[in-house]
Amino acid sequence: MVLRCIAHDDPEIKVVKDRISQYTKMLEPRGFTYQVYLKESDLVGIAFIGQEPLQLFKPIGTPLIRFGILDYDHPGEVLHAFADEVRNLAQAREVDFAYLNLPAGHETVTKYLEQIGFQELANRLNMTRSLDEVFEVSDKLRYERVKREELPQFGECIKKFMIGSQDAVLDMILENLLNLPEAFLDQWYMSIQPYFVYYGDEMVGILDLDPSSGEISNIGVEPSHRGKGFGTEMIRFCLKLFKEAGMKKAGLGVNVTNKLAIHVYEKLGFSVDEQIQTYIWWKNPEPSR
Categorize the per-residue pLDDT at 162 as very low, low, confident or very high, splitting at 50, 70 and 90.
confident
pLDDT digits (tens, 9 = 90+) for 234-288: 999 999 999 999 999 999 999 898 888 899 999 999 999 999 999 999 998 765 4
Written as one string, the DSSP assignment of 23-37 is HHTTTGGGT-EEEEE
- Tell whether the model's pLDDT for residue 75 goes beyond 90: yes
Considering the domain architecture, whether residues 68 and 169 belong to the same structural domain is answered as no
Among residues 67, 85, 117, the one where a domain terminates is 117
pLDDT recorded at residue 163: 66
Give domain status of residue 168, yes or no.
yes
Give domain status of residue 56, yes or no.
yes
pLDDT recorded at residue 156: 85
CATH of the domain at 231: 3.40.630.30
Q: Answer whether 0.95 is exceeded by the pTM.
A: no
pLDDT recorded at residue 286: 62
pLDDT recorded at residue 289: 43
Question: What is the span of the domain harbouring residue 230?
Answer: 130-276
Considering the domain architecture, whether residues 233 and 198 belong to the same structural domain is answered as yes
For residue 193, give Cα distances in angstroms to 107, 206, 216, 234, 242.
37, 11, 10, 14, 12
Task: List the alpha helices (DSSP H) in the chain.
Answer: 17-24, 76-93, 107-115, 151-161, 168-177, 182-191, 230-244, 259-267
pLDDT recorded at residue 211: 83
Considering the domain architecture, whether residues 161 and 67 belong to the same structural domain is answered as no
Where is average pLDDT lowest: 120-134, 156-170, 241-255? 156-170
Considering the domain architecture, whether residues 235 and 139 belong to the same structural domain is answered as yes
Where is average pLDDT lowest: 5-19, 62-76, 183-197? 183-197
pLDDT digits (tens, 9 = 90+) for 108-125: 999 999 999 999 988 999
Give domain status of residue 201, yes or no.
yes
**CA proximity to 56, closest of 208, 201, 185:** 185
pLDDT recorded at residue 111: 96
Which amino acid, one-letter code, is at 75?
A: P
- Tell whether the model's pLDDT for residue 184 goes beyond 80: no
**CA proximity to 5, closest of 33, 31, 40, 30:** 40
- Average pLDDT score, the chain: 90
Considering the domain architecture, whether residues 109 and 134 belong to the same structural domain is answered as no
Considering the domain architecture, whether residues 231 and 145 belong to the same structural domain is answered as yes
Percent of the chain with pLDDT over 70: 95
pLDDT digits (tens, 9 = 90+) for 18-29: 999 999 988 988
Structural domain count of the chain:
2
> Average pLDDT, stretch 197-221?
92
Considering the domain architecture, whether residues 31 and 112 belong to the same structural domain is answered as yes
Where is average pLDDT lowest: 126-135, 171-180, 268-277? 171-180
Q: Are 231 and 199 in contact (CB under 8 A)?
A: no
Distance CA 185, CA 178 (A): 8
Distance CA 87, CA 73 (A): 21
